[in-house]
């Protein structure tokens, strides 16, 4: 959540400088790093999630889509969090089975200037065996949940936005069936946003990356009843290409004996002809503004370490980190890792016995004091920080980094050379792991080191004498 104060600063600045009415939306996946929360980190994850909500409240979000990942700590937790949110959590397809009602608001309406905007949310499916929902709740497929809602929205709204974490493929299908949706904000699982593409004449899709590394700003000029300007009509073009391909295939099959494929190709061709026809019909804009073209400008702004912070949000981030450190400093949590046993690590003191020159150089480096750095920041128990600031590096199980023995409380020899217990016992038959740029990039990622350069920074290590 470190980037939130920078994101907040940028939003405030953008909104002030554009002095036009705006909506702040998020496709979803904001609360957790993965689809399920590790038991050991349940409390820490919940503290972080609450901090994120406070920050979003301060930024002034209008609405956020509920994604499957936001359910990682269970439905009850999200429903509690919802009560603390000043923005609306949107999902049209999380349904109570017995009464058919939505557990979240399916839509919101906003007047933006003289345009009436409707926003709808759709949640992606959980795996079949998931225990995150209770027995009474289900996530309905969009084909069941959308028809009634879109019908109602199109009746009295000029512009419709869908917030969703469904796959890009699903979004394309939705655009095909519902030309009334004008913008799909798709919460992607990768870091980077995805430039807008016009799926159809009336539907554009834009992808927002995870972890808030970018903020996206779309400046939209919309004439109700019009179509997007200079649309590349991606869907229609691919469908037409597919039709041409099937036609050629069909022609070939005609001239050949044993044409058992003929029927299959023919029926696919019929389906695709129907889709194209529907899409071409949908292209006929409604009477008003039919000749006008609407347009947008899109911008992604990357959040960097050197950007200014929003003061109040920064305070929320700091308070959250303080709470986490206090939580994880409990002896019950720190005791579990405090022995130097598993995974073949031995600690730098053992290496020093045979490689004193390297050890002396290393001791002067910042790697050697990386844990002291966390102590100074009062973050020495935070599993969001520890994996890169201690020796036993395990990103998949960050809780193991809490309360480690003092010989591993640093970026030590074994971060780069691999676990070295067996090498230390028998250096000739057990070689260490070769060091590559990838080794460094486990930690020196842009979020934490904007200017890492392997060749240049390697020289600073002084390990090769
Ligand atoms: C008992 C003495 C001893 C200890 C303890 C020891 N090494 Fe070594 N190390 C050696 C010797 C001897 C070689 C040279 C091996 C060769 O040339 O085949 C070596 C070679 C290396 C090399 C060169 C590449 C390789 O694997 O041959 C690296 C890197 C290295 N050690 C790192 C470490 C690290 C890190 C530790 C602590 C985890 C460590 N060593 C502990 C004796 C030791
Ligand atoms: C386990 C995580 C980790 C790995 C792997 C790692 N580093 Fe670091 N590195 C750090 C941390 C954390 C710091 C900052 C420590 C501090 O200041 O408290 C750092 C600091 C540095 C610095 C000092 C920065 C400066 O400008 O003085 C250099 C240089 C560096 N690393 C180079 C490398 C290289 C080269 C590699 C790969 C061969 C590497 N690091 C691998 C975590 C790592
Ligand atoms: C993905 C690995 C990674 C994580 C996670 C990480 N750090 Fe670091 N940290 C680094 C690296 C690499 C450097 C060295 C950067 C440089 O020299 O430019 C560093 C440097 C630092 C520094 C000294 C330089 C500075 O920017 O002031 C501090 C303080 C620091 N980290 C604190 C933290 C805290 C607090 C957390 C958790 C909230 C954390 N780090 C999480 C990799 C990480
Ligand atoms: C940040 C990463 C990093 C850390 C930490 C580190 N090394 Fe190295 N070390 C390297 C790299 C890179 C080389 C160059 C050889 C290679 O590519 O394997 C190297 C080389 C060596 C060599 C072989 C030297 C030679 O002349 O061939 C030894 C021995 C060694 N390191 C021991 C240590 C010991 C002991 C420590 C801890 C006190 C340590 N290293 C900490 C990255 C590191």
Strand partners, 358: none
Q: In this predicted model, what pLDDT tens digit does every residue of 317-348 receive, in sequence order?
A: 999 999 999 999 988 777 766 655 567 899 99
Buried b (16+ CB within 10 A) or exposed e, 397-413: ebbbbbbbbebbbbbbb
**CA separation for the pair 158, 227 (Å, rounded):** 12
Q: How far is the CA of 427 from the centre of ligand 1 (A)?
A: 5
Mutating to test ligand 2, I would choose from 305, 358, 363, 367 the residue with most ligand atoms within 8 A of its C-beta, which is 367
CA of 300 to the centre of ligand 2 (A): 29
Q: What is residue 432's DSSP assignment?
A: P
Distance 53 CA to ligand 3 centre (A): 24
Ligand 2 centroid, distance to 75 Cα (angstroms): 40
Instruction: For residue 189, report the distance from its CA to the centre of ligand 2, in Å.
Output: 28
Burial of residue 73 (number of CB atoms within 10 Å: 0-12, 13-18, 19+):
buried
Secondary structure (3-state) at 282: helix
Within 6 A (CB) of ligand 2 lie 366-367, 369-370, 373, 388-389, 393, 411, 415-416, 435, 439-440, 442-444, 457-458, 460-461
Nearest bound ligand to the CA of residue 430: 1
Q: Give the pLDDT confidence of 21-59 residue by residue, as tens digits.
A: 899 999 998 899 888 888 878 899 999 999 999 999 999
Assign 3-state DSSP to the chain and report helix, strand, coil percentages, each to 5: 45, 15, 40
Which pLDDT value is given to residue 462?
84
Pocket of ligand 3 (CB under 6 A): 373-374, 377, 379, 382, 384-385, 387-389, 443-445, 448-449
Among the atoms of ligand 3, which is closest to the Cα of residue 451?
18
Unique residue bearing structure tokens 């005791």: 335
Distance from the alpha carbon of residue 463 to the mean position of ligand 1, in angstroms: 12
- Cβ neighbours of residue 213 under 8 Å, at least 6 residues apart? 3, 191, 192, 302, 303, 447
Dump strand ranges (E) for 12-134: 25-26, 63-65, 88-90, 94-96, 107-112, 115-122
The token duo for 27 is 């496709």
pLDDT for 364 equals 93
Is 212 exposed, middle or buried, given 0-12, 13-18 or 19+ CB atoms closer than 10 A?
A: buried
Which tokens sit at 351?
């290496």
Give the CA dihedral 380, 386, 390, 392, nearest 10 degrees. Answer: 130
What is the percent of the chain with per-residue pLDDT over 70, rounded to a whole number? 91
Order of strands across the sheet with 25-26?
25-26, 63-65, 88-90
Q: Which of 59, 32, 27, 29 is nearest to 44 (CA)?
A: 32
For residue 428, which atom of ligand 1 is closest to its CA?
18
Residues in the chain with pLDDT values less than 70: 190-193, 209-213, 230-235, 257-259, 279-290, 336-342, 393, 465
């Amino acid at each position: 959540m470190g980037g939130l104060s920078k994101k907040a600063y940028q939003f405030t600045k953008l909104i002030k400088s554009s002095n036009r009415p705006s909506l702040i939306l998020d496709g979803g996946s904001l609360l957790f790093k993965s689809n399920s929360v590790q038991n050991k980190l349940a409390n820490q994850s919940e503290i972080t999630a609450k901090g994120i909500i406070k920050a979003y409240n301060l930024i002034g979000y209008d609405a956020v889509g509920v994604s499957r990942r936001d359910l990682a700590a269970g439905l009850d937790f999200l429903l509690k969090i919802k009560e603390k949110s000043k923005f609306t959590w949107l999902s049209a397809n999380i349904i109570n089975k017995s009464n058919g009602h939505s557990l979240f608001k399916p839509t919101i309406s906003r007047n933006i200037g003289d345009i009436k905007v409707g926003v709808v949310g759709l949640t992606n499916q959980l795996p079949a065996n998931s225990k995150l929902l209770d027995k009474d709740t289900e996530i309905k497929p969009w084909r069941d949940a959308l028809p009634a809602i879109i019908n109602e929205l199109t009746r009295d709204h000029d512009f419709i936005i869908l917030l969703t974490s469904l796959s890009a493929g699903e979004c394309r299908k939705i655009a095909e069936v519902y030309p009334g949706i004008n913008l799909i904000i798709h919460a992607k699982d990768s870091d980077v946003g995805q430039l807008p593409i016009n799926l159809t004449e009336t539907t554009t899709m834009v992808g927002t990356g995870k972890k808030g590394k970018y903020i996206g700003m779309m400046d939209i000029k919309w004439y109700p009843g019009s179509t997007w300007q200079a649309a590349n009509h991606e869907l229609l073009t691919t469908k037409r290409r597919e039709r041409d391909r099937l036609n050629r295939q069909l022609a070939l099959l005609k001239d050949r004996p044993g044409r058992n494929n003929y029927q299959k190709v023919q029926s696919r061709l019929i389906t695709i002809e129907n889709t194209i026809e529907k899409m071409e019909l949908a292209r006929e804009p409604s009477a008003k503004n039919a000749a006008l073209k609407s347009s947008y400008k899109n911008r992604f702004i990357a959040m960097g370490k050197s950007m200014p912070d929003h003061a109040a949000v920064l305070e929320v981030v700091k308070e959250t980190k303080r709470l986490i450190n206090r939580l994880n400093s409990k002896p019950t949590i720190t005791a579990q890792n405090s022995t130097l046993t598993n995974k073949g690590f031995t600690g730098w003191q053992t290496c020093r016995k045979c490689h004193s020159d390297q050890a002396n150089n290393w001791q002067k480096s910042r790697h050697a004091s990386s844990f002291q750095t966390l102590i100074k920041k009062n973050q020495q128990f935070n599993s969001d920080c520890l994996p890169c600031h201690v020796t036993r590096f395990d990103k998949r199980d960050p809780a193991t980094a809490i309360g480690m023995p003092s010989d591993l409380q640093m970026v030590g020899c074994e971060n780069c050379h691999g676990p070295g217990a067996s090498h230390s016992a028998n250096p000739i038959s057990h070689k260490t792991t070769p060091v590559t740029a990838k080794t460094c990039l486990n930690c020196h990622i842009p979020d934490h080191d904007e200017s890492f350069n392997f060749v240049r920074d390697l020289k600073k290590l002084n390990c090769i004498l």
